[in-house]
Amino acid sequence: MSAFLIADVAVSDMQAYIDSGYIDTVPKIAARFGGAYRARGGDFEVLEGDWRPVRLVIIEFPDMDKLKRFYDSEEYLPFRNLRQELTDSKIVALDGLAESMTP
């Protein structure tokens, strides 16, 4: 069953974030764990509630184990530390559905 890493990322210094290589390198690391970006900083519209995300990112993984292996990997660790230094991030991991809800 798929699992999704969902992040709301407020970057404090976008140029430092770009210069760090995070934006170019992390998708390659995620891909080694089966991760595929489904959304990354695109336009969005709040339809209900008072949540005001800044920059949304959604990465789909084959399962929760691979998502957590990516998140805890030695490859990602320096980039995770960098992201935590250069951003205010809120991140959740969410299991996908076992089967489609489409009739």
Q: Using pLDDT thresholds of 50, 70 and 90, give the confidence band for residue 98.
A: confident
pTM, two decimals, is 0.91
What would the pLDDT profile of 61-90 be if each residue is shown by its tens digit?
Answer: 999 999 999 999 999 999 999 999 999 999
Rounded distance between C-alpha atoms, residue 51 and residue 77, angstroms? 28
> Which 3 state secondary structure label does DSSP give 62?
coil
Nearest CA among 7, 70, 87 for reference residue 35: 70
pLDDT over threshold 90, residue 55:
yes
pLDDT over threshold 80, residue 27:
yes
Is the CATH number of domain 3-42+54-94 3.30.70.100? yes
pLDDT over threshold 80, residue 17:
yes
How do the domains of the chain map onto residue ranges?
3-42+54-94
pLDDT over threshold 80, residue 102:
no
